[in-house]
């Protein structure tokens, strides 16, 4: 059964300009925002806009994302989060002039993996499955064929935040639209 996204949704780091709800959310990602913990860059960031709901148990979250990425590291996608030291974000990250499928897994420190693209598709569809002690991330460019990006450990048996996230670590803002966000319990 699908969770009720409209009444349960909350903002963490609400952006200055936004409209909509879980079914159709558009906002402008403010500059100097990011999520990262220590590794390689030596800094900690926990200030990107994140529109989420809280949930226990196993579930699958899905969403369609369309963004106007222009500056290095512009990003938008899904995030599952316990706190500032335990989270996973996944989606599009703009690197070297193209959109890359990206995942950052953080357990005290962040790691980063990408699937380089040679084009920049208009939209990407994401599915994030949380089951037991893992999260599986899958992506699609046509909402038909989904490819696995990552399977990562994630602490079991704790309530999490799941939702739509974006960041603009540089100096330029950008607009992003999320469509059809839903969370469904799985067995």
pLDDT tens string 29-88: 999 999 998 776 766 889 999 999 999 999 999 999 999 999 999 999 999 999 999 999
CA-wise closest residue to 30 among 65, 76, 96: 76
pLDDT band for 5, please (50, 70, 90 cuts). Answer: very low
> Exposed e or buried b for every residue in 39-51, given b needs 16+ CB within 10 A?
eeeeeebbebbbb
The neighbour count for residue 36, using CB atoms within 10 Å, is: 22
33-170: CATH topology is Jelly Rolls (2.60.120)
- Closest Cα to residue 178, out of 7, 29, 3? 29
Render 98-129 in DSSP notation, one character per residue.
EEEEEEEEEESEEEEEEE--SS--S-EEEEEE
pLDDT tens sequence across 136-180 = 999 999 999 999 999 999 999 999 999 999 999 999 999 999 999
């Amino acid at each position: 059964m699908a969770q009720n996204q409209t009444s349960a949704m909350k903002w963490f780091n609400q952006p200055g300009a936004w409209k909509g709800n879980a079914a159709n959310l558009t906002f402008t990602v403010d500059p100097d925002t990011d999520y990262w913990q220590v590794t390689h860059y030596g800094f900690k960031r926990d200030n990107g806009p994140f529109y989420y709901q809280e949930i226990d148990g196993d579930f699958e979250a899905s969403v369609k994302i369309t963004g106007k990425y222009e500056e290095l590291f512009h990003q938008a996608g899904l995030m599952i989060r316990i706190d500032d030291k335990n989270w996973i974000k996944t989606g599009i990250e703009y690197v070297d002039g193209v959109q890359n499928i990206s995942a950052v897994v953080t357990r005290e420190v962040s790691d980063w993996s990408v699937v380089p693209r040679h084009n920049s598709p208009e939209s990407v569809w994401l599915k994030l499955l949380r089951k037991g002690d893992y999260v599986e991330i899958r992506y699609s460019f046509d909402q038909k064929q989904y490819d696995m990006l990552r399977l990562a450990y994630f602490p079991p048996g704790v309530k999490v935040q799941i939702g739509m996230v974006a960041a603009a670590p540089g100096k330029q803002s950008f607009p992003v639209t999320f469509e059809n966000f839903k969370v469904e319990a799985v067995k």
